[in-house]
Chains A and B, each alone.
Chain A
Amino acid sequence: MRGRLRRAWRILALPLISIVLSILVGSLVIIASEWLVTGELKPGLAIDAFTALVEGAVGSERAIINTLVSSVPLLLGGLAVGLAFKGGLFNIGVQGQFLMGVLGSVIVGVQLRESPAVIAIPLALAAGMLFGAVWGFIPGFLKATSGAHEVVTTIMLNLIALQVFAAAVNGPLTVQGSSSPITPDVGNAALPIIFGRNGHLGIIYAPLMAVLYGWLLFRTTRGFEIRIAGSSPDAARYAGMKPRRLIIWTMSVSGMLGGMAGATDLLGVSHQTASSYATTVGFDSIAVALLGRTSPIGIVLSALLFGALRTGSASMQIQAGVPAELTGVLQATILFFLVASPVVARLFRLKGARSGLEETTTFTSTYGGEATIR
């Protein structure tokens, strides 16, 4: 029993400390910026701000549903990044895969807006997943065949996705006769609301995807192959696995999850889209996967945390007068402390705490053409 507790602490210590530290840094930022603006030193303001943040995120049924809704795309995106990490790949391209997911689901969703929901929803969702999968397949294929590093190619594809998306929405997808570039509503393809005012179906299936993610990785032979190839491509090759194919497979499925995140956001929340679809979900997903240490439970928890931060930021701005952007500071500092975990572990004398991010070594060890795949 004590052994189990100790193990849990080893896993949780660094993420928890990172969160606490980021709250401290956030407090300092709040107090300092207030002092710069008004010349008054109000330490209590930090407490007010965080109280408002927590209340806004989980203080009422509506707040909780809002938090869940904003967690859904983060969860799916986090799983996308996490799966790639497990396979030794750094998918920075969730941003682009997300946009392609939005695009795919809006194209099919608008077409089927009059069809019965049982047909329209699955097809629109599948289209988004397919678009995302293609956007993940491309960097996977490039890496497997030419060794082009996925970090570079996915960043490029993010930009391409942004332009493709804008071109499509501005052009063929714009509502006939509308002066602003905006697509029609997806109508019947919209996800049904099952909780409160806006709690859509994604709240159910996104956690199921996390279960599926754990099942795939730890219960199937394919998951074993992905994890082995991710830890040691050489051993995978020796064992008779096919690392090239695994790279393509993993990136495609990762992209599919990213596309699903986008499709879910469109079909569940906005139902239509403008050409300037502003989102940072793709990048936040990287933080979610890292904070959750790529474990299914971890990703669920960190997606909830980041979702809560997003939701609570509005009431923090209204009630405490602290800009909503502060939550961005919090997210960034959490990540910062996680990445700096060796330093953090030393400061807090955390012996044996699992050094923050084995995952980031994925990046450093594969970047620079060192790992040749054969």
Chain B
Amino acid sequence: MTSESPAVRAPALEMRGITKRYPGVVANDSIDLDVRPGEIHALLGENGAGKTTLMNILYGLARPDGGQILLDGAEVQLTGPTDAIKRGISMVHQHFMLVPVLSVAENIVLGDETMTAAFFLDRNKTHRQIVELGRRFGFEVDPETKVGSLSVGWQQRVEILKALYRDARILVLDEPTAVLTPQETEEIFEVLRRLAAEGHSIVFISHKLYEVLEIADRITVIRRGKVVGQRIPSETNEEDLAELMVGREVSLVVDRGESTPAGAALKVEGLAVKDDRGQEVVHGIDLDVRAGEILGIAGVAGNGQDEFIEAIVGLRKPAGGRVTLDGKDITGLATRNVYAAGVAYVPADRHRFGLVLSFSIADNLVLTSYYRKPYARGMLRNDAAIDRMAVERVKAFDIRTPSADAKAGTLSGGNQQKVVVAREFDRDLRLLVVDQPTRGLDVGSIEFIHRQVIAKRDAGTAILLVSAELDEVLELSDRVAVIYRGRLVAVRDGRTADKNEIGILMATGGREGVANGEGSAAPGGGGTAA
């Protein structure tokens, strides 16, 4: 505990030799981690590397089998989240733990005993505190706004405010940028830097390498439950970090090769779609996707891209317009008939749509084909054929599981997505619609999925890619279309597009009339700006 150099302050948080065993696996194998006051410390690792276990231990959700946790140099035993919060440790989860129907202030106060002790909330006081707190860190927030009406970026700020309101000194952020636009990410980074400047310690969990390099003071990389290295951003680069993380060399830049697009496979003309509340959220989109090309749709979540895709695959009835595939009208067909026409769809939310987690891998592999030969004989399931196919695909797509009978919920995120990909890619396709195909996946799985998408493209499939990750869209797409408030505001060539320009288009819709940019000849695409 003697600090060798007076310049180095005692760490605000120190985890020493943390070990946690679960039946069959050592999730954390004597992990050391120290975070200094005012430091942004990135924790980097693939899914399943043990980041979450370590943070659960820090948050009091799990007890370590060995090791110590020290706060300001004093050993503590954390008994649970309440205890952790009391000691100044707060966590901002990947999936926000906010109640959409409550106001910002109500969400922030929720569960805080000191405020509810008097039974009645002192609204004025809390509102004042929240506004002041926000100002201090560079954002203005209205405590009365309902959280459900806020953008994701703002919801995240509310989460952070919630932590600060509870006097958090150590803030753990679990993949905070996963759902943000580049601009929003920049803004949140600004907030984090201010927090650090005020002496807060931040643990930043991520697998986005360039972000980690940008924001962190130090980077600790863990792999298979062990610390495999610590780096300072100025002394490392993305390739080095990726190799540490995965344990082998990884190609970070997708080798998308040359595409040789043929004629338009998917033609969308004047498509208008309403959302669940009956509001029109897609206003007459025109778009072509050629066979053998990847068209990426960039846009901030909630600009109509979900409804647009759902209308194409038949999950939502279009309010107007036409969708044709190879000249055949598929407008308003039932989902199953759209699939039968040669369309596959990889949904964004694999837990809710793409998979049934309580069912076996084999069952999930036939989710969209169970009724067809050879998986069904009349009204009966052909279990032998299903099992044979499942075993084959588990092998072919390298799905890491003890058996095809294991439940999909037992797989890691990357392997879950492989199940979806194995199911949807493994047949002749005319059109492939992929929505956020790599959200929440680790570097190795992302590489795998990207390769599969490109292989599909090279096989002559038209691919419609939607992603909130602008980098992904730019890396994969032959053409990039930007969607803003239900309209396509620009189409650009994927190889020459300027990331900043696209980011601005995503955020503003290009009110200055940017639609006359370079871009390739966009059949039916560009220039429908608001």
Contact = CB atoms under 8 A, between A and B. Distances in A.
B376 A238 contact: no
B380 A234 contact: no
Interface string B358-372: 110001000110110
B276 interface: yes
Contacts, number: 63
A231 B358 CA distance: 8
A228 B276 contact: no
Interface string A276-309: 0000000000000000000000000000000000
Contact of A238 (B334, B335, B370, B381): B335
A43 B339 CA distance: 69
Contact of A220 (B315, B339, B347, B381): B381
B379 A220 contact: yes
Interface string A215-251: 0001111111101100110110111111000000000
A358 B407 CA distance: 15
Contact of A234 (B345, B353, B370): B353
B353 A238 contact: yes
B74 to A, nearest CB: 32
A372 interface: yes
Nearest to A233: B352
Contact of A235 (B339, B355, B376, B380): B355
Contact of B354 (A222, A223, A231, A238): A238
B449 interface: no
Interface in B368-390: 368, 370-371, 376, 379-381, 383
B353 A235 contact: yes
B30 to A, nearest CB: 25
Contact of B379 (A221, A231, A241, A242): A221
Nearest to B364: A235
A228 B356 contact: yes
A231 B351 CA distance: 12
Contacts of A225: 370
B381 A232 contact: no
B336 interface: yes
A228 B379 contact: no
A239 B376 CA distance: 15
Contacts of A219: 380-381, 383
Interface residues of A, number: 23
A243 B339 CA distance: 17
A228 to B, nearest CB: 6
A218 B380 CA distance: 9
Given A219-B380, A220-B380, A231-B359, A237 B354 contact: no
B17 to A, nearest CB: 26
Interface residues of B, number: 25
A237 B352 contact: no
A232 B358 CA distance: 9
Contacts of A218: 381
B363 A224 contact: yes
Contact of A240 (B276, B359, B368): B368
A225 B371 CA distance: 9
B352 A235 contact: yes
Nearest to B338: A240
B102 to A, nearest CB: 16
B429 to A, nearest CB: 15
Contacts of B359: 227-228, 231
A221 B381 CA distance: 6
Contacts of B339: 240
Contacts of A358: 358
A238 B349 CA distance: 11
Contact of A237 (B276, B315, B383): B315
Interface string A195-230: 000000000000000000000001111111101100
A227 B359 CA distance: 9
Nearest to B335: A240
Nearest to A240: B336
B99 to A, nearest CB: 13
Interface string B313-335: 00100000000000000000011
A238 B347 contact: yes
B371 A234 contact: no
Chain B CB count within 10 A is highest, among A218, A240, A374, for: A240
Nearest to B334: A240
B335 A222 contact: no
A219 B378 CA distance: 11
A232 B276 contact: no
B320 to A, nearest CB: 19
A232 B352 contact: yes
A374 B524 CA distance: 32
Nearest to A237: B315
B335 A237 contact: yes
Chain A CB count within 10 A is highest, among B334, B339, B381, B383, for: B381
A34 B380 CA distance: 57
A228 B353 CA distance: 11
A237 B370 CA distance: 14
A157 B358 CA distance: 33
A294 B367 CA distance: 22
Contacts of A221: 370-371, 376, 379-381
Nearest to B423: A239
Contact of A239 (B358, B368, B381): B368
Nearest to A215: B380
Given A221-B371, A224-B363, A237-B335, A232 B380 contact: no
Nearest to B337: A240
Interface in B146-196: none
A238 B338 CA distance: 11
A239 B352 CA distance: 12
A372 B316 CA distance: 14
A234 B352 contact: yes
Nearest to B366: A224
Query: What are the 9 tightest A-B residue pairs by CB atom distance, in nearest-first order?
Result: A240-B336, A240-B335, A238-B353, A239-B367, A232-B356, A234-B352, A235-B356, A239-B368, A221-B376
5 contacts: A221-B370, A221-B380, A239-B370, A240-B336, A374-B276
Given A218-B381, A224-B370, A234-B353, 6 more contacts: A223-B381, A228-B356, A235-B354, A235-B356, A235-B367, A374-B276
